[in-house]
Every structure is written in C-alpha cells, then in structure tokens.
Amino acid sequence: MAKRPYHQSKSAKRQKNAAKPANDGSNEQVLLLDVKSLLSRYKKVERPAETLEEENARASPLPVHVPPERFSEIDVKISELSSTGDGLGLSSTLDHVYVVPFTIPGDFVRAKVVTYFPQAGYTLTDFIRVISPAPQRDDSLVKCPYFSKCAGCQIQMLPYELQLQHKRSIVEKAYRNFSSLTPEVIPTIGETIGSPLQYGYRTKLTPHFDGPPGSMTRKAKRDPLERKGFKTVPPIGFNLKGTRKIIDIEDCPIGTDAVREGLQRERKDIAADFAKYTKGATIFLRESTLRRPKLVANDVTVESAVHGDGEKTSTKDTGPSPDATNEISIKNDVKHTNPLRSEYIDEKTCITDQRAISTEYIDNFEFKNTAGAFFQNNNSILPKFTAYIREAILPTTQITQAKPIKYLIDAYCGSGLFTITLSSLFQSSMGIDIAGASIVAAKANATANNISNASFMTADASKLFEHVKYPPEETVVIIDPPRKGCDDPFLQQLLRFGPRRVVYVSCNVHTQARDVGVLVEGVEGCRYEIERLQGFDFFPQTGHVEGVAILARSDVAGKAE
Ligand SMILES: C[S@@+](CC[C@H](N)C(=O)[O-])C[C@H]1O[C@@H](n2cnc3c(N)ncnc32)[C@H](O)[C@@H]1O
C-alpha cells in the first residue's frame, strides 16, 4: 500500500474520504449520498430553451457557488434531515449543501463555516443559533444542557413520533442506496418500534478527559517521570460536536440513574485527585443489576429466615405477592430454572472496572458478562426486541414438503443474548464470537439459565462453516455483526451453506443493507427473499437506529411459506 505523504494534512485525508465510493457505511459515505441525492433533485437542467424569455435568461451564466470564508457566519434554510442526524440546507445557487448539526427541516439557522469539500459538494458547519424555528421543532423537549454542543445526541428537539418516522426513512434510504437491489424486492419498511424509555435508557457511558497540557512532550513520552499532573481539574465529558475537544459534562440524561450517579462519583474522585493524573483516561460506567426476590407470606413457603446481610436463605416461590414486605434471597435450584418471577427487587449499581462482572436480566434470563465486553446498551427495549425475533425467526406457515426448522446458529453471539433467549424454539443452538471473554460468559450464562442445548465457540464467524453439522434446510442463522458489517468471505460461505432462514440484526443499517443485497443476489442455487425490514429505536435522541432484516431462502422447494 502506498504510504501517505508525510505532509498530507488531516484535512486532505478528510477531503479524500468525503469523495470515497459509498459502500462502507461510514458516516462520511452516508452523508455524501444524502448530499448527492439532495443536489440531484435541484440539478440545473440541461435542455434546449423552450421560450424566448428562457433563452434570454440563459444568456446570462447561471450563478455558481462561491465558498464562504472559513469561520465566517452564514444563514441557511434547512431542507432535510440526513441519515447522519444533521440538517442539510442548499446554497442559494442550488449547487452546494451546508451541513448544519442540531437542525431539522424548516429551521432557518445561523451557522459557522468549518470545512469545505468542493468535490463532495458540501461544507461542514457549526450550529450557532436558530433564527426562525421549523414548525416541528420543540425545544421544550430538550432535556440536556449540553444539547447542540455535545456530539452524543442530535435530535432531542424532535418529538418522539417524528424521531421514529425519521428512523424509518433512514432504513428506507439505506436499502435504496446501499443494497444494490431493485425496489420490487425491498418490502415496505415497517414502522420503527419505539423505546419504552426515551431518556434514562443507556446502561453504558464512557466519558473521558485529555492529559494535562504539555504532558506529552517528547521527553515525557520517553520517560513517565517527566510527566506533569494537572494544575486544575480537566474537563471530563464527551467531544464537542465536530471536534476532538472534550467538553465538561456534569450529567447525561440519556444514561440510566445508576450510570448518572456513577458519573457524579467518578467526577468527584477525579476532582479530588486531579494533580495525580499525568495522562488522559476514559471513565468506564456500566450498569449492573442485583436481583433479589421478595418474600410474600401468603404465596411463598419460607424454609428459612432472612439474614440481615442478605446471604442465601431458601424459599419456594409459588406465585405473585402483592403485599410483599420482607426480602429473601433465592435458592440456587429455583434460580437455575429461571422462573418468570412475579416479584423481585432489582438494585442497580454502576461498575467502573471493565474487568468486573456485570449482570443484566432480559426476559428473566440472567446474563453475566465482563463489564467491558459487548452487551446491548438499552435494556428497556430488549424484551420487545427479543419477542419480535422470537415471533419472526421461524416461518409463519409450515409447508408440507419442508422439514421443520430445528437448529439455530448465532453468529457474532456475544455473551449469548439470542442463543439463550431463543433456545426453547430449537433442538440445538450454536453461538460463535471472536471475543474469548464473551464466549466464556455465554457458556456460563447457558449453564446458569439451565440451557443444555446450546454450544459456543471462540472463532472468527466465517470459521463456523468448518464445524457446523446442522442440515441447512433445518437451520436459521442469526447475524449481529459490529458496525462494519460482515466480510465477503463470511457472506459467501453463508450462501454456500444456505440456511433456510437468516435474521440479520445490525446497529448500522447501511452495512446491513449492503450485506443483505449480497444475500438476495445470492449464488447459483441459493438466494434469499426479504420478508420483513424494520427499525428498533435502541438509541433515542440520536440519529442511530438498529435494523432487523428477516430473510428466507427463495429457492427451497415449495417456498410458499
Ligand atoms: C453487535 S455485537 C452483538 C453481540 C450479541 N449478538 C448481543 O446482542 O449481545 C457484535 C459481536 O461480534 C463479535 N465479533 C466481531 N467481529 C467478529 C468476527 N469476525 N467473528 C465473530 N465475532 C465477531 C464481537 O465480539 C461482538 O460480541
């Protein structure tokens, strides 16, 4: 690979990235496609003049965009909301787009020019203020004092119903722009399923702070003793939108109460000790749940008394307990059968050590995980989400020629969320993940939840095809890769294996659309149809959406399911 010239500036690199072909699902590519689409709708038409007036008007050259000076202020009318969560407004010459964060269609705003991308046809700006608001803007909905500065959330001013509609259009555009499929094979995108909690939902936050100014001199890099501590408490928080500068964030209302309290504690500790820090750091905050059942005298047979320290005592839980007052801990055998307990107390704590074990309860299954390993960040929506997948993963109508589906492969399984919550639907399940710590957790979670029909393997997802013994026509594969999506060797092997159904879950609907395009196009003897496409709002107030695609093999005999 050619070396980047030493003198090439970051800005030159960003210019190059902004002109890259749209296939990697990055923010830049998604933005570029939205810009091109907006410009194409206003393109100056090259056709012969139809009237004398038109001919005369054409005699004077069309005005072309003259880029405003860097850091100058401009006024922009926003005409659409891009899939990146930024407002887009056309220049008065209709041939250039201003990208203004924290705005929605209909806003007329003042913005500061930051970076001009002539080839890509847009300029990034900083939002300054609203001159006249869009009818749909409701600033009373904004719950965070850092909104419109912090890079974390983009659309707090948009009523929730409209956030969900916008996310549906993100999924729609993703399949239009990234899947290379013709519109006939893309089903109508379902309504976005909302999050029960629209604030206070995020179970993980990672605010950070930079090292003291001048702490990383060449000398200090070589010798830590050369490093100097802070003279004042550093800003601890998240990046200022569009920059790498950290702004001080005292509270983050999209976080759960436990992680918000954790943030307060960590900030206090760092403030007390700030002079000792010679390097920047990331603060890790992950919610964890301590679940304890309640004792109800009428419904529960108490076998021994509660200890003041909450140590294990025994009980039999026989039903709901509206008048519960005492608390007891749960007997091991009861816990392992995973009963749908009607009464328990969940105590939430905040873990700050990434190596510690966090516990979450989803559909009353217990998930323990190394806190720093992957786990979904919005627990409030997970029961709706797993219920949807349970309902959609198997064919709705069984055809006589086809064998029933008995096997599940959970590629990119993490600590076993899908393998475990779906295990009762299958005779046997297998999970695979590249992270060894997640596989250790997945095995322990299966055991703790009394699931004996699941096995797990640490490996690259594409290796699973070397090991799998399940007959493809009786198998479903669920895929939930990281943002970059699946690599081609994985998709080609998946097509060669040819499972009866595929469920593709992703936090990046653009790479999902690209990969689903490959599966629908298929190979000789194996291609897929898209049964359903739908977004889930795992990330309220932000421009992100989780996509679910349900695919069925279209060339299985008697495919009338
Ligand atoms: C979005 S998470 C999904 C985890 C799980 N399905 C869940 O919902 O908790 C993606 C997972 O893919 C794993 N991963 C990343 N690259 C992988 C690869 N090449 N092969 C297998 N797993 C991979 C990560 O370790 C991570 O656990």
Residue whose C-alpha is closest to residue 519's, from 498, 535, 540: 498
Domain extents in the chain? 25-35+69-137, 207-283, 289-361, 382-553
Across the chain, how many H-helices and E-strands are there? 13, 24
Ligand 1 atom nearest the C-alpha of 435 is 25
Those residues whose C-beta lies under 8 Å from the C-beta of residue 200, and which sit 6 or more positions away, are 253, 254, 255, 256, 257, 260
Task: Say how far apart CA 394 and CA 401 lie, in whole Å.
Answer: 16
Residue type, 320: P
Short-list 171, 8, 229, 148, CA closest to 535: 171
- Does residue 385 have its Cβ closer than 6 Å to ligand 1? no
The atom number, within ligand 1, closest to the CA of 507 reads 1
Q: Is 362 in the pocket of ligand 1 (CB under 6 A)?
A: no
pLDDT of residue 57: 67
Please tell me the residue having the least CA distance from ligand 1 atom 13: 412
Bridge-based pairing of strands 122-132 and 97-100 is parallel
Q: Is there an atom of ligand 1 within 6 Å of 147 CB?
A: no
Asked whether 347 lines ligand 1 (CB < 6 A), one says: no
Mutating to test ligand 1, I would choose from 358, 433, 440 the residue with most ligand atoms within 8 A of its C-beta, which is: 433
Q: How far is the CA of 513 from the centre of ligand 1 (A)?
A: 18
pLDDT of residue 346: 93
pLDDT at 58: 64
Whole-number Å distance, alpha carbon 181 to ligand 1 midpoint, is 26
Pocket test of ligand 1: the residue of 286, 360, 369, 374 to mutate, having most ligand atoms within 8 Å of its CB, is 374
Asked if residue 374 has its Cβ within 6 Å of ligand 1, the reply is yes
Between the CA of residue 24 and those of 90, 184, 300, 427, 486, what are the distances in Å?
26, 24, 56, 37, 11
| 360 close to ligand 1 (CB < 6 Angstrom) | no
Q: What is the pLDDT of residue 52?
A: 78
Q: How large is the ipTM?
A: 0.99
Which residues have C-beta within 8 Å of that of residue 218, sequence separation ≥ 6?
none
Which class would CATH give 25-35+69-137?
A: mainly beta
Q: Active-site residue among 144, 150, 153, 507?
A: 507
Residue minimizing CA distance to atom 17 of ligand 1: 434
> Distance, CA 416 to ligand 1 centroid (Å)?
10
Cα 483 to averaged position of ligand 1 atoms, centre (Å): 10
413 lines ligand 1 (CB under 6 A): yes
Annotated catalytic, 526? no
CATH of range 382-553; options 3.40.50.150, 3.40.350.10, 2.60.40.10, 2.60.120.10: 3.40.50.150
The tens-digit pLDDT sequence of the chain (561 residues) is 333 332 334 455 545 444 444 478 999 999 999 999 999 988 755 566 777 777 776 666 667 888 999 999 999 999 999 999 999 999 999 999 999 999 999 999 999 999 999 999 999 999 999 999 999 999 999 999 999 999 999 999 999 999 999 999 999 999 999 999 999 999 999 999 999 999 999 999 999 998 877 666 677 677 777 667 777 888 999 999 999 999 999 999 999 999 999 999 999 999 998 888 888 899 999 999 999 887 665 544 333 333 333 232 223 332 333 332 222 222 223 333 344 445 889 999 999 999 999 999 999 899 999 999 999 999 999 999 999 999 999 998 766 678 899 999 999 999 999 999 999 999 999 999 999 999 999 999 999 999 999 999 999 998 888 889 999 999 999 999 999 999 999 999 999 999 999 999 999 999 999 999 999 999 999 999 999 999 999 999 999 999 999 999 997 644 444
Q: Pick out the residues of the known binding site.
A: 376, 412, 433, 480
Radius of gyration of the chain (CA): 27
Please state the residue numbers annotated as binding site for S-adenosyl-L-methionine.
Answer: 376, 412, 433, 480
Residue 45 has a pLDDT of: 55
Question: Is-contact 360 391, C-beta < 8 A?
Answer: no
Q: What is the dihedral of CA 37, 110, 170, 204, to 10 degrees?
A: 150
Query: In the prediction, which pLDDT does 418 show?
Result: 98
The atom of ligand 1 lying closest to the CA of 463 is 20
By alpha-carbon position, which residue is closest to atom 26 of ligand 1? Answer: 414
Q: Which of 434, 464, 466 for a ligand 1 pocket mutation test, highest count of atoms within 8 Å of Cβ?
A: 434
Q: How many residues in total does the chain contain? A: 561
What pLDDT is attached to residue 425?
97
What is the number of other CB atoms lying within 10 angstroms of the CB of residue 160? 15
Q: Whose CA is nearest to atom 6 of ligand 1?
A: 413
**Interatomic CA distance for residues 535 and 548, integer angstroms:** 6
Which amino acid residue places its CA nearest to atom 4 of ligand 1?
A: 414
102 with 145: CB under 8 angstroms? no
